[in-house]
Amino acid sequence: MTEIKVPVVRNILQANERLAAENRRRFDEAGIFVVNLMSSPGAGKTSLLEKTIDALAGRIGIAVIEGDLQSSYDAERIQKKGVQAVQINTDGGCHLDGNMIQIALESLDLSGVDLLIIENVGNLVCPAEFNLGEHEKIMILSVAEGDDKPVKYPLMFQICSVLLVNKIDLLPYTDCDMSKIRERVGQLNARGKIFEISCRTGEGFAPWLSWIEEKVGEHRTLRAGKQS
């Protein structure tokens, strides 16, 4: 059994890598900075998008791809902010892949878009395995999930360049120890950035917004260089 299963899994991942590379070429040609946003269900991905859109709208062209098993709730939340959003329903699938992103892109007008954020399916395991063509992988951990998550789900913490620790307004009501999160994530991923935030109160948002604006600026410069 294992002799059959392993090559099949490898082929799926290789096929996905080709599609992700095509997506990446397309994003680079357009000079769009693309983020793959991951977390367990309910950690605050859509809340982060809503607050980030509120802060950056008018200065940065934003589009969003939403991934969920079912429903269009999240895309509707984003559209209420006046931002283009397309919903992918995986119909039971636990992660997005390169092909789903290609199909979703057909429904987006990328002219004037500087930043494309892909909200992956809520899951700390499978999304870590599938590249989408993004420039950065970002994850959210909410304090209510516990400070042991980096130990239990190490791959996700290893591959993300930014960890947003959300719901810090709830810290007094949990036994989550922020120093343990920092220490455990540091052991897995010494170069990753950690921002402590609350999507409820807005605390800690300034450094996160500066980071994303800086990245968008870098990609705008690349785009301008290609056009000149």
Where do contacts with ligand GTP occur on this chain (CB under 6 A)? 39, 41-47, 74, 122, 166-167, 169-170, 198-200
**Nearest approach, Cβ of 119 to Mg ion (angstroms)?**
6
Q: Are 39 and 137 in contact (CB under 8 A)?
A: no
Question: Which CB, 31 or 196, lies closer to ligand GTP?
Answer: 196
**Nearest approach, Cβ of 125 to ligand GTP (angstroms)?**
13
Q: Which residues pair with 136 in a beta bridge?
A: 35
- Scanning 46-54, 133-141, 183-191, 218-226 for contacts with Mg ion by CB under 5 A, the matching segment is 46-54
**Nearest approach, Cβ of 45 to Mg ion (angstroms)?**
5
Q: Are 114 and 27 in contact (CB under 8 A)?
A: no
Question: Which CB, 127 or 150, lies closer to ligand GTP?
Answer: 127
Q: What phi, psi does 37 have (nearest 5°)? A: -100, 120
DSSP annotation of 118: E
Both tokens assigned to 200: 């409820």
Interaction between residue 46 and Mg ion (CB under 5 A): yes
Among ligand GTP, Mg ion, none, what does residue 96 contact (CB within 5–8 Å per kind)? none
Binders of Mg ion among 70-99, rule CB under 5 A? 74
* Dihedral sign, Cα of residue 128, residue 193, residue 136, residue 123: positive
Q: How many CB atoms lie within 10 A of CB 69?
A: 15
Name the residues that contact Mg ion, by CB under 5 A: 45-46, 74
